Amino acid sequence: IGYGVPEKDAHNYIHSTCVEITPVAGSNVWVASPYTNMAQLLLDVMEENADSFAELKQKVLAKLAESIRRNYEIYNQCRLTVAEKNIHPLLSCFVNDCLKNGTDIYQGGARYNWIMPSFVGVANLTDSLYALKTAVFEEKRLTLGEITEICRQNFEGQEALRQYLLNKLPKYGNDLDEVDMLFQEITEFIVQECRRYTPVFPNAHLVPSVFCWVMHD
């Protein structure tokens, strides 16, 4: 409803893949467009210097904002290219409102034309940021440069540190306000950044989703 879907349509939805919600029978929704590796964003930022946790977090959010903008531009252009070079008349017959508008689904005829980027590993990013906040900037066990090099070496020879970070520090999802609010800050930032962009075609929004992969067989 927050994205302008009438209540009747809002009640008639499916999970089109894992976490992406799609209105039934009226959608040309591009899900997982694209996946964003949240942990990699942090690793990239750790290669730079940061004198405080606030500075490190701000650099991560700036990197995230740039990633959202760049991916939006890529996938929005992809839609224009698909619209120029493709039609799907059979599918269009079964998707509201293609026949009503006389417009193919690939050219914006569907009732909803969202692009849905998926942000993978927000919990991992949250836990990692909290670990850096504690171990580097508060306890000063090591510098940001040192932990960056340790990560680059996959914690070789640093098992005690790995166990400390893994098992001794608080993690997201355990009803600990300081960690959970960091997750909330990141997800709210994602939502607000995505709201800045309007893809082509009617009723088009950039609608984010977040999830974690545990295992795929």
The pLDDT assigned to 217 comes to: 53
Q: What's the average model confidence in pLDDT over 168-178? A: 92
CA distances (Å), 150 to each of 36, 43, 172, 184, in order? 24, 12, 23, 28
DSSP state of 207: -
The pLDDT tens digits of the residues spanning 174-183 come to: 999 999 999 9
pTM: 0.90
Q: What's the average model confidence in pLDDT over 201-207? A: 92
Tell me how far apart the alpha carbons of residues 30 and 97 are, in angstroms, rounded to a whole number. 17
The pLDDT tens digits of the residues spanning 3-42 come to: 889 999 999 998 877 778 889 999 999 888 899 999 999 9
Top pLDDT among 133 and 33 is at 133
DSSP 47-108: TS--SSHHHHHHHHHHHHHHHHHHHHHHHHHHHHHHHHH---HHHHHTSTTHHHHT--GGGT
Q: For the chain, what's the residue count? A: 217
Averaged confidence pLDDT in the chain: 92
Of 21-35, 47-61, 104-118, which range is least confident?
21-35
Q: Residue for token digits 């545990």? A: 214
Tell me how far apart the alpha carbons of residues 27 and 87 are, in angstroms, rounded to a whole number. 15
Instruction: Report the percent of the chain where pLDDT is more than 90.
Output: 82
Q: Is the predicted pLDDT of residue 1 greater than 70, yes or no? A: yes
Q: Is the predicted pLDDT of residue 194 greater than 70, yes or no? A: yes
